[in-house]
Amino acid sequence: MPTSPTRTLPNSRTEADGSAVIRVLSYNIRSMRDDTAALARTISACAPDLVLIQEAPRFFRWRKKLARLARAADLVILSGGGSAAGPALLCSMRATVERTEDVLLPLTPGLHRRGFATAVVRFGGARIGVLSCHLSLQSEERYAQGGMLLDRLAGMGVDHAVAGGDLNERPGGRTFRRLAESLRDCWAVRPWGGEHTSTPNDPHQRIDALFTTPGIEILGCGVPSGLPGVSEDDLRAATDHLPVLAALRVPPGP
């Protein structure tokens, strides 16, 4: 497993100038087919304000399953799930929700349907757009979806945004590079905790990531192995990916 964090990740708070420090977690939960109690404990221990989920339950009673996870982690459902073909968003009660939108991407015959879960929320005086994604396993489709992600963020009407998820690609891949050229790769800017997200039993590649628009201060980002309350056993049991946790300072907005 990755080594323990070498410095403390800042906790959520509202600053005197109206900016907000928030924790954002990205996590592929494999349709909650593994140890859901371990999954909920891991999410809760990260104390996130926003959770960008991939592979949320999509079929039979998917809303109830996602609601059960949110409740166990002391969060609420923001958007997504089956209506976004897998990506979902959860949030803490600190968030004031401005709007949400689930987006289905064009379907390539023979391939899995993909989508985005999106929202605009406020934390005190800070306003931020949020997007969770799970990009295609197929290279050409994945690259096109990367462009759609950038277009979607540009059309959200916000000064600041965070996007992330399971990219199904390492940092050297052209889709990952496409995103990192327009956005800021949180791990690359301020690494904290562990780097590799796949697989929990043999972490050897970074295929999950969080990105921000310029203007957001990245205070730390990485796999929260060693964070107080995060158990190595739970990380292995919860799902087939490791989560990515970031602390961000979002400036005040209109």
- Residues 20-56: tens digit of each pLDDT: 999 999 999 999 999 999 999 999 999 999 999 999 9
Q: Catalogue all structural domains in the chain, each as residue range(s) with its CATH number.
A: 15-250 (3.60.10.10)
How far, CA to CA in Å, does 5 sit from each of 8, 10, 27, 198, 224? 7, 12, 18, 18, 7
pLDDT at 203 over 50: yes
Least confident of 2-6, 91-95, 145-149, 248-252: 2-6
Percent of the chain at pLDDT exceeding 70: 97
CB 79 within 8 A of CB 118: yes
Percent of the chain at pLDDT exceeding 90: 96
